[in-house]
Amino acid sequence: MDWNFIPLAFGQIVSPLTIGYALAALGLAVHFGFTGLLNFGQAGFMAVGGYFFAITTVKFDWPLWSSLIACVVGAVLFALLLGIPTLRLRADYLSIVTIAAAEIVRYTVKTPAISKFTGGSDGINGAGRDFYAMNPIPEGQYGFGVLTYNNNQLWSIIVGWAVVLIAALLVWQLMRSPWGRVIKGIREDEDAVRSLGKNVTWYKMQSLILGGVLAALGTVLIIIPTSLQPDNYGTQTTFFLYTIVLLGGATTVFGPILGSIIFWIVLNLADGVLSILVLNHLVPITSIQQGPIRFIIVGIALMILVIFRPQGILGKKREAQFSE
Amino acid sequence: MVKALRARPALLRVVLALLAFALAAAVFVFATPSAHAAPNSGGVPTVDTTPAPADSPQSIGIWVRVAADKSNVPNISVKVTGKGVTQTVVTGADGKISVPLAKPGTFTIELDTASLPEGLKVLGDNPREVTVSTGNQGVPGYFLLGTGDSSVVPSATASPGAGGSSDSGSKSSESLADRVLPRIATGLIFGLLIALASIGVSLIYGTTGLNNFAHGELVTFGALTGYVVSGVLDMPGWLGIASALVLGGVFGYVQDLGLWQPLRKKGIGLIPLMIVSIGLSLALRYIFQFIFGPDLLITPNNQTAVLNIGPIHLRGTDISSPIICIVVLLLVAFALLRTRIGKATRAVADNRSLAAATGINVERVIRIVWVAGGALAGLSGALIGYYQPVSWQTGASILLLIFASVTLGGLGTAFGALVGSLVIGLIVDLSQAFGVPSNMKFVAALLVMIIILIFRPQGILGRKDRIG
Amino acid sequence: MSDTTERVQLQIGEPEPGVRKVDPILIADKVRRTFGGVNAVDVAHVEIPRHAITALIGPNGAGKTTFFNLLTGFDKPDAGTWSLDGKSLAGVPAYKVARRGMVRTFQLTKALNLLTVLENMRLGAGHQGGEHFLEALIPALWKKREEYITAQAMELLARFKLDTKADDYAASLSGGQRKLLEMARALMSEPELVMLDEPMAGVNPALTQSLLGHILNLKKEGMTVLFVEHDMHMVQTIADWVIVMAEGKIVAEGYPDVVMRDQAVIDAYLGAHHDTDLGSLTGQLDVAKDIGDTHLAAEIAEEIAEEEATDGKR
């Protein structure tokens, strides 16, 4: 029996997916947990950020910093495009429009007509070129046991977690400032905050932009060590993010980060256990049937979380009264 | 009979419902081997019944060009055989055609030399083998033609099969009517199918305030039931459709009984409730994939055109499906307008506390709405099986269209859902006649929904809400 | 104040609907709002006197809250203009109206439960640089202003006897205390005109006296007050001027004691609504949105009664 899956699962703490999803989940917490915006298109922000970065880096040969700026600008534009018409709509309309927008992005990038730029269904590879070029770590293997990484992977891990921590600090500082106070008020009762002279719509837009930029940057951290695949940014990604956010605590800053870590570790553990069971014929399912099981787990976990512990691990119960 | 049941303890009803559901589950699990072959009896879908892009995990990209100047050659017939399936496709104006494949494997592609223009012949092997791995889209199946007359004149051939809709967007010398009329037909049919599901969503939203993200799975449930009954169990099609209707209703009943009603009683808010429906949607979707696998499943259907009206070619099911839809929709309309329970439903959807204050049993109304919604969605799914191949994500792929229809028509109004569905169905199919590539057809519908919401947030038939 | 000899003359000419005021702070003209064919608000002309306490009274459904919503930018009228201190407010969004010096409270108290009492108060203050995104990131830039408004908040809270609750969550306050909080919070921005929507609703009788005292204090501090109320005793006690609305229109204006005896007012409250559901008059039931709903509900009630009758016969 190959027990390697256990340390490998815990090694997920440093995987690109964990890091990227932590940032995207932090962004979603800003939208949903702090401001009360029902954004179901976070995968769309991820895709927009990823494509702006990848296209400018790989297809146009822009330097790293310019591509990053393009990525942020893309996220801001998407937020404006989404927000201007919809932020005055009711919450449930916003959820439908944001899902639709994210799917529109996904369908559009797969269009054969523009696949010269977007790579069509195959996506884009090699976005990490400039990033690795500035890697100061000497070549070699680092780590122990099954968790060894080469210098490029290590560089990704270090930079990735640094970005996550800086972002977390920024959001934390914002939320304890007067700006954060207005946002928390908006979550509870927009009209009350309006009656106090605050431009509620503009605050919601700022929140949308902030959370969207975080998601875009998170995607950059994912695609650099791996690749950009359009079908990774469908609605189930947004649903995963919601699970992560609710798991960790939607109204906290470190909840989404913790949630991402736990989410990916648990999924990998479950996958590993299932693999062993299947390979050794201990359960009557085929290896093809093993794939969907992780998603079934996530779906059931989401339901249980929201019914029995909506505040997640780090959140406070009273703050989980999601307004209607 | 209803009155008799009313006199018996509620427990009996619960037991009956669970038995019925267990029976359905048993049928699924035992009738579906994990590695199954798609039945061939119903013939093979031509390019006209190509499934929605999200449903085909792998595909071959056929491309026919003249070797000398690399110009594209349209209207070339290519046959793709393999994995128990035969498909014949025709290249479009750009010389290309995508062949979605239900399963990965090795396929034989053969260019039909009879469709070649004069003086051109195939360079290289014909037929050839192409290997397609799981999830690989656009695996190259390229043909180069020997130098000859480079001015290839595309001939106008309206493709056979349902509706005459061509997936590749070849529009060279087809008349406007040739392009548009078949799509209006398919668009209306599609719209009617969506309407069945949308009305359930709208009524559930109206009576309980829930945006049911798991409604797509009710549709998939019906589609898979239809497939199992008439495909795997080889029973007549009408039985498959009837089973989907009945079992869909049971599924809806069980959902309200076991999940939604207890949550309502618990006082859970509308947003957490919506998230619960999302979790349920994920879980159900992948349970379906667990049982039925990731492949496309084809409900047996006779593909020959039975009725031809100009450029519109209709199969038997293209006629019976809309008729069934219309009859059912009329029944629903009658029920809502004339029967006591229908009026009670409209009252609850309009103003729950006022309805309760006049003595209406709100919980009973809601239960009936779930049963009806489940039944309608099940019927919709079964009928979709005659329109395109189905899979574990059939319902999920049209969920967004359902929401778009409901929103467009006006959240909470049943007739709005119908109007919205027809509009969405028409946009999805008509957009392809006007240059929108087939993988963007949903985008057109979604964009229309967004635009209309901006200018008229209450939808077409909805009422403006008052603040304060 | 019902002492007629000491009365300050607020109006020009005889008191009547739309009469001009000596020193109006708010003037509204031809304001109209219709819902589904019904005129919810149809005010030809009204002026609110400065530095006075004006009561806006009328039966339920008269359009008082709708009028409030229109004036403060929470709703859009079909027609009409109004101005504060001569500057037009028509079409101005709600948050800008508040910044211009016209604040309002709500019928259903909107104390922000998830914030502490002190945080609620701080939110009420204007001119906070820390509320801007970039400035918020650097505490040094907004610390001083924060201290200032905290001091201002504590002072107000002390006045409203809520200072001991400063660090408690607003959710833990009683209903009456939340009303006081909402009022105190509205004062943080030092407004000119304070609009109170049913300040007495849901407050236990023991608290009403202190609430009245607070409202009188507002006048002492130089603010103008406009409040909506049902409670006639309260109106008699503190109002300097009374405006009566019925069916969207202003039917009477004048000094409290005089208006109470006006026949038009009495009619408005008692005579005109025999056929309306008693529940809607006393506000116990959600008013049906339109006639269709009431008919539908009545239809169903009839049929249920029929069914039960036939069941009973079996």
The residues spanned by each domain of chain C are 1-111+189-274, 113-172, 277-314
Q: Look at strands C79-84 and C24-35 and give their pairing.
A: antiparallel
User: Is residue B160 in a domain?
Assistant: no
pLDDT of residue B12: 57
Q: Is position B168 within any domain?
A: no
Beta C224-228 vs C53-57: how paired, if at all?
parallel
Burial of B107 (0-12, 13-18, 19+ CB in 10 A): buried
Identify whether B462 is part of a domain: no
pLDDT averaged over every residue in chain B = 78
Hey, is C84 helix, strand or coil? strand
| Chain C stretch 251-310, residues whose beta carbon is closer than 8 A to a beta carbon of chain A | none
Q: From the CA of A3, how many Å to the nearest CA of chain B?
A: 25
E strand segments, chain C = 24-35, 38-49, 53-57, 79-84, 87-88, 102-104, 193-197, 224-228, 241-246, 249-254
- Same domain, residue pair B126 and B185: no
Q: How many CA within 13 A on the CB side of residue A289? A: 15
Is A127:A60 a contact under the CB 8 Å cutoff?
no
Asked whether the beta carbons of residue B270 and residue A324 sit closer than 8 angstroms, the reply is yes
The residues facing B122 across adjacent strands are: B145
pLDDT, residue A113, reads: 78
Cα-Cα-Cα-Cα dihedral sign, residues A58, A60, A64, A68: negative
**A-chain residue closest to C149, CA distance:** A178
Chains A, C: CB pairs < 8 Å: 101
Contact B453 A291 (CB under 8 A): no
Section B176-198 average pLDDT: 86
Structure confidence at residue B26 as a pLDDT band (50, 70, 90): low
Q: B touches which chains (3+ CB pairs under 8 A)?
A: A, C
DSSP string, B14-82: HHHHHHHHHHHHHHHHHH--SS-PPP-TT----GGGPPPGGG-SEEEEEEEEETTT--B--S-EEEEEE
Q: Which fold has domain C1-111+189-274?
A: Rossmann fold (3.40.50)
Sign, CA dihedral A166-A169-A170-A171, equals positive
Q: Are B59 and B122 members of one domain?
A: yes
Q: How high is the pLDDT of residue C14? A: 83
Q: Cβ contact (<8 Å) for A184 and C112?
A: yes
Please give the structure tokens belonging to residue B60: 């071959």
- Answer whether C95 sits within 8 Å of A184, measured CB to CB: no
Q: What is the domain extent for residue A178?
A: 5-232
Number of domains in chain A: 1
CATH number at residue B449: 1.10.3470
Which of B271, B403, B428, B442 is best to mutate for the A interface (most A CBs within 10 A)?
A: B271
Is the pLDDT confidence value at B51 over 80? no
Q: Element (H or E) spanning A149, and its range?
A: strand A147-150
Q: What pLDDT does A265 receive?
A: 92
What 3-state class would DSSP assign to B90? Answer: strand
**Cβ-defined contact of C307 to B340 (cutoff 8 Å):** yes
| pLDDT over 60 at B37, yes or no | no
Closest CA to A300 of A277, A260, A270, A257: A270
Contact yes or no for B162/B313 (Cβ under 8 A): yes
pLDDT value of residue B27: 54
A:B CB pairs within 8 Å: 153
User: Does residue B219 share a domain with residue B280?
Assistant: yes
- pLDDT at position B56: 73
Decide if B26 contacts B104 (C-beta within 8 A): no
Are B121 and B219 in the same domain? no
> Does C94 contact chain B (CB < 8 Å)?
no
A120 — alpha (psi -120 to 50), left (phi > 0) or beta? left
What distance in Å separates residue C149's CA from the closest CA in chain A? 11
What percent of chain B is predicted at pLDDT more than 90? 22
Query: Cα angle at B417 between B411 and B419, to 5 degrees?
Result: 125
- CA–CA separation, C53 and C55 (whole Å): 7
pLDDT at B139: 82
Distance CA A216, CA A238 (A): 13
C285 and B357 in contact by Cβ < 8 A? yes
Whether residue B192 sits in one domain with residue B70: no
Give the percent of chain B with pLDDT over 70. Answer: 79
Domain shared by B16 and B55, yes or no: no
The verdict on residue A283 lying in a domain is: no
- Which residue among B155, B171, B190 closes a domain? B155
For testing contact with chain A, the best of C99, C110, C178 (most A CBs within 10 A): C110
CB contacts, 8 Å: C132 with chain A:
179
Contact A99, B400 (CB under 8 A): yes
Please state whether beta strands B77-82 and B96-101 pair in parallel, antiparallel, or not at all (unpaired): unpaired
From chain C, pick out residues whose CB is under 8 angstroms from the CB of A210.
133
Query: Which residue, chain included where needed, has tokens 């930079």?
Result: A159
Domain-located, residue A221: yes
CA A29 vs CA A47, A183, A248, C102: distances in Å? 18, 12, 10, 34
Instruction: Measure in Å the smallest separation between the Cα of C75 and chain B Cα atoms.
Output: 7
State the smallest CA–CA distance between residue A67 and chain C in angstroms: 23
Binary contact (B354, C297; C-beta < 8 A): yes
Q: How confident is the model at residue B412 (pLDDT cuts 50, 70, 90)?
A: low
Q: For the range C15-18, what are the long-range contacts, defined as Cβ-Cβ under 8 Å and sequence gap of 24 or more?
A: C15/C253, C15/C254, C15/C255, C15/C258, C15/C259, C16/C252, C16/C253, C16/C254, C17/C44, C17/C46, C17/C249, C17/C250, C17/C251, C17/C252, C17/C253, C18/C44, C18/C45, C18/C46, C18/C47, C18/C250, C18/C253
Pairing of strands C224-228, C193-197: parallel
Answer whether residue A296 is part of any domain: no
Instruction: Report the CATH number at residue B53.
Output: 2.60.40.10
Could you say which of A38, A96, A307 has the minimum Cβ distance to residue B271? A38
Structural domain range at position B64: 47-155
Across the interface, whether the CB atoms of A112 and B437 are under 8 A apart is answered yes
Q: Tokens for A177, please give them.
A: 């400032």
Check A239 against B282: CB less than 8 A apart.
yes
Does the distance separating the beta carbons of A307 and B276 come in below 8 Å? yes
Q: B354 touching C, CB under 8 A?
A: yes
The DSSP secondary structure of C153-192, one letter per residue, reads HHHHHHHTT-GGGTTSBGGGS-HHHHHHHHHHHHHTT--S
Amino acid sitting at position B92? G
Q: Identify the segments of chain C with pLDDT beneath 70.
A: 1-6, 263-264, 266-304, 307-308, 310-314
CA distance A48 to A43: 9
Same domain? For B103 and B195 the reply is no
Distance from CA of C296 to the nearest CA of B (A): 7
Domain count, chain B: 2
CA distances from A195 to A91, A129, B382, C146, C295 (A): 20, 51, 52, 20, 37
DSSP notation for B285-326: HHHHHHHH-SS-B------SEEEEETTEEEEHHHHHHHHHHH
pLDDT tens-digit readout, B276-297: 999 999 999 999 999 988 888 8
Chain B residue numbers with beta carbons less than 8 Å from the beta carbon of A242 are 275, 278
Residue closest to B58 by CA, chosen among B102, B23, B17:
B102
Work out the end-to-end distance of chain C between its first and last CA atoms, rounded to an integer number of angstroms: 67
Q: Do A173 and C95 touch (CB under 8 A)?
A: no
pLDDT exceeds 80 at position B426: yes
Instruction: Kindly identify which residue of chain A lies nearest to residue B400, measuring between CA atoms.
Output: A100
The pLDDT-based confidence of B154 (bands split at 50, 70, 90) is very low
DSSP A229-246: -GGGGSHHHHHHHHHHHH
Which CA distances in Å does C258 have to B391, C17, C233, C241?
77, 13, 14, 10
Token pair listed for A12: 């997920």
What is the pLDDT, as a whole number, of residue C185? 93
pLDDT at position B21: 60
Distance of CA C310 to the CA centre of its chain: 50
Q: Please name the residue of chain B whose CA is at the shortest distance from the CA of residue C298.
A: B358
Tell me what pLDDT residue A290 has.
81
Residue B42 within a domain: no
Q: Where are the beta strands (DSSP E) in A187-317?
A: 227-228
Q: How close is the nearest chain B Cα to the Cα of A136, in Å? A: 37
Residues in A closer than 8 angstroms to B281, CB to CB, are: 239, 299
Contact A7, A143 (CB under 8 A): no
In a domain, B37, yes or no: no
Q: Do A319 and C114 touch (CB under 8 A)?
A: yes
Strand partners, C43: C31
Judgement on whether residues B346 and B431 belong to the same structural domain of the protein:
yes
Of C274, C279, C108, the closest CA to residue B357 belongs to C279
| Residue B218 phi, psi (nearest 5) | -65, -40
Within-domain flag for A111? yes
Nearest CB neighbour to C300, from listed B360, B467, B468:
B360
**Closest C-alpha among C18, C30, C26, C29 to residue C85:** C26
For the segment A36-46, what is each residue's pLDDT rounded down to a tens digit? 999 999 999 99
* B68 and B187, same domain (yes or no): no
Which residue bears the tokens 């304060």? B468
Mean pLDDT of B366-383: 95
Question: Among B138, B282, B447, whose Cβ lies nearest the Cβ of A298?
Answer: B282
Residue B423 and residue B451: Cα distance in Å, rounded?
Answer: 14
Structure tokens at A239: 């649903």
Identify the pLDDT of residue C311.
63
Give B169's contacts (C-beta < 8 A, 6+ positions apart). B92, B93, B432, B435, B437, B438
CB-CB contact of A201 with C96 (8 Å): no
From the list A300, C136, A44, C95, the residue with the least C-alpha distance to B279 is: A300
Report residues of chain A scoring pLDDT below 70.
1, 321-324
In-domain check, residue B170: no
Residues B228 and B119 occupy one common structural domain: no
Distance CA(C45)–CA(C29), nearest Å, equals: 5
Question: pLDDT band for position B161 (50/70/90)?
Answer: very low
